Structures are given as structure tokens and as C-alpha cells.
Amino acid sequence: MPTQELPREIDIIRDVERTLVSTLPAGWTLEAERQVRAGRGQLDLLIEVSAPNGERSELAIETKRTIEPRLVPQVIERLAMYCSGDLSDAVPLVAAAYLSPRSREILDGAGVGYIDMTGNTRIEVSQPGLFISSSGADRDPWPQDSDLQSLRGRGAARAVRAVIDHNPPFGIRELAAASGASAPTLSRVIELLDREGILTREPRGPVLTVDWEAAIRRWASDYAQTRSNTPMTFLEPRGLPAVLEKLDEVGPVYAATGAFAAQALDPIAPARTATLYVEDAGRFADQLSLRVVEAGANVILLEPFDPVVFDRTVWRDGLRCAAPSQLCVDLLTGPGREPSQGEEMLRWMQENEDDWRS
């Protein structure tokens, strides 16, 4: 298990060698060479793997103690420079103490393998055929105390909603005024998303671009529809059509989310449960004459993590729905089929971006 002290590069190199020795298939062997001249630079580690039939391949490995996602493209570019000339057939690989999900996503997209000390590994060699894949930590065991690490808190969630929902360019004060998010919290969230390579900004200046889909997925890694909010379950004996009728009577004191709202925006599959954000679940249930149940519920009332869930709502077919960004993260982290509906929601948002972003 990792210690609290950030491993040295030599520790990472030794861990790579040990891991490969223990995970290579029976009959495979390896030879490792450190500090190898490659092009105009020096490669940290070159490993030659040999199959039982004598076929061989080389792994060109760049080692980093820490690597922020925004810097991963530079490492990929450096590896491409190394993997030229005599090493043109080498398989590029990044090794680190820890690689975040976002870093691994960028490496995967570039066709570059990786390995970290928590067990996250993906190595693919076409000739001879070799594939190694394993999952490790999704949280950094060696976080920097001064950096925001999570989007779990209510302030962070309100801030990330603001970043997603508003079109750049924008400054922190400008966005705080438009969204009601705290400027200091916005600053820390923007710094986190900058480190993750999800947005770009001028030094000490405005945010210039935002990959809003990546921001939603990053938020979803720290959020869960029923864990981040307080749920209560109920039954409407006459089914969801009766819920819709009653919602017409109570007015705009709720925000629908989950599959119930998704089918109003983009019909995918009929919802079996009505999930609604409300300020006071008990009082709202009384207004709709719902019965409290522990099993067989068809209505879930969520008391929200923050009133931001009622911001930027949209009306569709007489139903007040949570903002697409909120709805999407709820779907991606919801029960049953909702995560797959979240993927459909992302596609709808891509096709209708002008409709939901300021």
C-alpha cells in the first residue's frame, strides 16, 4: 500500500519493473534499461519484453512523480519524440505514482499506455500480442494539501454548475455575480478544472474555454443523485399520470429530475419513477396525497444539497425540469438504467448547446 510520502521516481521505476515481472504471462521475460539516450533526450526506462516464441517488443516509459491532466499532452509529445529513429517500433508508456481518471482518459485517447503505483494499468502490445489491464485508485493517495481535490461540497457543486452552464469567456467575479456562487469557491473549482485539463484560462485572467462534458463527468465522480441529496420514497397508487395531474395543481415549487424529466426533454424510455427536487419532502407529499413506502415506490422526493437545483429550470410538456446540466449529472449517477440515459442526455446537450448554455 502507498505511504503518505510521495514516491520518488526511482520508486516508481522499481514498481514498474516489479509489476511487469509479476503480471507477464508464463514464459515471458523482460530486460530493463534505465536512462536511455533517445533522440535529443533521455528516456527514463526502456523495457524489452520477450514472448516464449522469441518475438520481442520494447516499452518506452516516461516516468513522472505527479502529472496533472493538463500536462499529459506535453508528456505524450515528449514520448513521441523519443519513439523515433531506433525506437520507432517501441510502445509508449507513462508511469507515475498516481494517474487520475482524467489523465488515463487522455492517454487512452492518444493510444498511449500507462501504469501507476495504485494498480491502474493499461499496456497493449500488438506484436507479440500482449494486453495487461487492471484498475487501481480513483483518488490520489498523495494529494497536495493546498489544492481542492473534490467537487463534493455544496459550494463546489454550485460553482461547477456555473462553469458548465455559462459560455466562456468569463472572469471569476463576473461568473460569481451571474450565478450566485462564491468567488473564492469558484476560484478553487476553476483551478481544479484547469489542473484536470477541462478548461483553459489566461494566467490570472478569464476562463477562455470549457469542456463542459468533461466537467459534468468529473463532477459525477464526486456526486451521486441519492447520496448527495436526501431522498424519501412514496407511492401514488394511480401511477405517474396522476402525479403529473397533481403537479399542475401545486405550481412551480419543484424540479423534476432523473428519467422522469429526461423523457420530457428527449423521449428514450418511459419512466417508472417520478423523481422530484422539493424543499420539504414531507409537506410536498402531503400536498400530493402520497403514501410513504419503503418498497414499491413510484415517487422519490429529494431534498437538495443546494437550492441551485432550482436554478435555470426548463418547462417541457407542462413539467418543470431541472437544468440540463443538473439533470445529466443526476442521470449519470442515478439508479437502474439512468446512467445509460445520462449518456443519451449528453448527446442531446451536444446537439442543443445553444438552448441550455448562457
36 close to 48: Cβ distance less than 8 angstroms? no
pLDDT tens digits, one per residue of 243-274: 999 998 888 899 999 999 998 876 667 899 99
82 close to 43: Cβ distance less than 8 angstroms? yes
User: What whole-number distance in Å separates Cα of residue 356 and Cα of residue 244?
Assistant: 24
Pairs from 270-275 (Cβ < 8 Å, separation ≥ 24) = 271/240, 272/240, 272/298, 273/297, 273/298, 273/299, 273/300, 274/236, 274/240, 274/243, 274/298, 274/299, 274/300, 275/225, 275/299, 275/300, 275/302, 275/330, 275/334
Average pLDDT estimate for 35-49: 86
Average pLDDT estimate for 281-298: 94
**Phi, psi (degrees; rounded to nearest 5) at 275:** -110, 125
More confident residue, 155 or 168: 168
Cross-strand bridge partners of residue 99: none
Say yes or no to pLDDT of 145 above 70: no
Model confidence at 37, in pLDDT bands (50, 70, 90)?
confident
Task: Report how far apart, in Å, the C-alpha atoms of 170 and of each of 156, 173, 174, 195, 268 are.
Answer: 18, 8, 6, 18, 35
Say yes or no to pLDDT of 305 above 70: yes
pLDDT tens digits, one per residue of 97-116: 999 999 999 999 999 999 99
Task: Report how far apart, in Å, the C-alpha atoms of 185 and of each of 138, 140, 180 are.
Answer: 23, 21, 11
Average pLDDT estimate for 174-200: 92
Nine-digit cell at 335?
Answer: 439508479
Q: How many CA atoms lie less than 13 Å away from 9 in the CB half-sphere? A: 12
| Mean pLDDT of the residues in the chain | 91
Model confidence at 3, in pLDDT bands (50, 70, 90)?
very low
User: What whole-number distance in Å separates Cα of residue 224 and Cα of residue 189?
Assistant: 18
More confident residue, 294 or 116: 116
Average pLDDT estimate for 300-310: 94
Cross-strand bridge partners of residue 293: none
Say yes or no to pLDDT of 40 above 80: no
Percent of the chain at pLDDT above 90?
A: 74
User: What whole-number distance in Å separates Cα of residue 81 and Cα of residue 88?
Assistant: 9
pLDDT tens digits, one per residue of 320-357: 999 999 999 999 999 999 999 999 999 999 999 999 99
pTM of the model: 0.74
Residue type, 196: E
H or E stretch at 95: strand 91-96
Model confidence at 2, in pLDDT bands (50, 70, 90)?
very low
Q: Which domains does the chain have, with CATH numbers?
A: 9-134 (3.40.1350.10), 154-220 (1.10.10.10), 225-356 (3.30.460)
* pLDDT score for 1: 40
Average pLDDT estimate for 19-47: 89
- 267 by Cβ neighbours in 10 Å (0-12 / 13-18 / 19+) ranks as exposed
Average pLDDT estimate for 81-101: 90
pLDDT tens digits, one per residue of 167-182: 999 999 999 999 989 8
